């Protein structure tokens, strides 16, 4: 653990692993003038260390799983398992193809020798840095903020489904996903309503390149055109552009936002949909 990152999440949680306890410990330690969160070392480094131990011990007891006869290997294995539990589906890359194959084999052996009951007992008893405790507590905190959301126009099945997906993503702490879904809903409704006004609001028809080369306008232009079409006023245009800009920053610059900001983006999306559909 050698890297540190400034905490910008006003909720007081780790922006990487969402750990309340880790942040609390660092705050109370007063090691840093400004609160900082320790970032775990890359899982690739841990796997490399495990591979080196594997090579050393496997020649001594080839018939026994390394994780049962090597305490050091078990420690690295637990560290890898904890990382994967916190970050399921994590992407692992090695430039060396031989090293990549060794890594695949050792992770396969690790997963095959990991007992499901032991893993679940560890998770639910506060292990893995309090994974389940953090997940459950934070979910409850977010769920408490959600009340039924009343909308003044009847939503289509598509709007209802994607809006619920956005809310579910937010509730589970998947803020970027919630923001992307909100922006997608807004873009879809904008196209639908602008096409009713004039296809030129959505497509570059007079580009001089023929029918087959007609291009769809980007979201920024669609939002600006909503003003020309009389669908949104200046304040609403500004709000819609803020959602677009936040989406772009989250996707392309990996910017992280607090749950409050994403929740507000979802609610603003709902209000813009109402205006567009009325």
Helix axes 116-124, 127-145, angle to 10 degrees: 60
* DSSP annotation string for 228-269: HTTSS-HHHHHHHHHHHHHHHHHHHS-----HHHHHHHHHHH
What residues form DSSP beta bridges with 204?
Answer: 215
Task: Identify which of 10, 75, 90, 6 has the alpha carbon closest to the alpha carbon of residue 42.
Answer: 90
- Assign 89 to helix, strand or coil: coil
Give the predicted TM-score (pTM) of the model.
Answer: 0.61
Instruction: Count CA atoms closer than 13 A to 91's CA, side-chain side.
Output: 1
Sign of the four-CA dihedral 99, 100, 103, 104: negative
Q: How many CB atoms lie within 10 A of CB 29?
A: 8
Q: For each successive 10 residues of the chain (278 residues), what is the average pLDDT? A: 37 42 38 39 86 75 62 79 74 88 86 70 62 69 70 82 88 90 93 92 72 81 94 95 95 90 91 89
- Name the DSSP letter for residue 207: S
Looking at residue 154, what is its pLDDT? Answer: 81
Looking at residue 127, what is its pLDDT? Answer: 61
Contact 269, 185 (CB under 8 A): yes
Q: How many CB atoms lie within 10 A of CB 189?
A: 21
Looking at residue 72, what is its pLDDT? Answer: 78
Looking at residue 142, what is its pLDDT? Answer: 74
């Amino acid at each position: 653990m050698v890297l540190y990152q400034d905490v910008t999440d006003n909720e007081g949680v780790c922006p990487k692993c969402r750990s309340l306890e880790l942040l609390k410990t660092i705050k109370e330690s007063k090691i840093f003038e400004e609160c900082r969160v320790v970032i775990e070392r890359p899982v690739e480094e841990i796997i490399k260390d495990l591979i080196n131990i594997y090579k050393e011990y496997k020649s001594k007891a080839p018939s026994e799983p390394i994780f049962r006869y090597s305490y050091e290997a078990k420690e690295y294995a637990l560290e890898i398992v904890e990382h994967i539990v916190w970050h399921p589906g994590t992407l692992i890359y090695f430039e060396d193809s031989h090293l990549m194959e060794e890594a695949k084999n050792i992770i396969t052996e690790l997963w095959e020798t990991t007992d499901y009951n032991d893993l679940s007992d560890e998770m639910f008893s506060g292990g893995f840095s309090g994974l389940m405790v953090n997940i459950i507590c934070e979910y409850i905190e977010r769920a408490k903020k959600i009340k039924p959301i009343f909308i003044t126009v009847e939503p289509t099945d598509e709007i209802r489904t994607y809006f619920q997906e956005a809310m579910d993503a937010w509730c589970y702490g998947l803020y970027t996903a919630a923001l992307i879904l909100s922006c997608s809903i807004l873009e879809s409704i904008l196209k639908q309503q602008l096409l009713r006004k004039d296809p030129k609001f959505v497509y570059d028809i007079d580009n001089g390149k023929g029918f087959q080369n007609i291009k769809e306008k980007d979201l920024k232009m669609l939002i600006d055109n909503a003003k020309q079409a009389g669908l949104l006023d200046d304040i609403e245009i500004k709000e819609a552009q803020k959602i677009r800009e936040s989406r772009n920053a989250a996707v392309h610059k990996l910017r992280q936002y607090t749950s409050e900001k994403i929740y507000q983006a979802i609610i603003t999306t709902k209000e813009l949909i109402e205006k567009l559909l009325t």
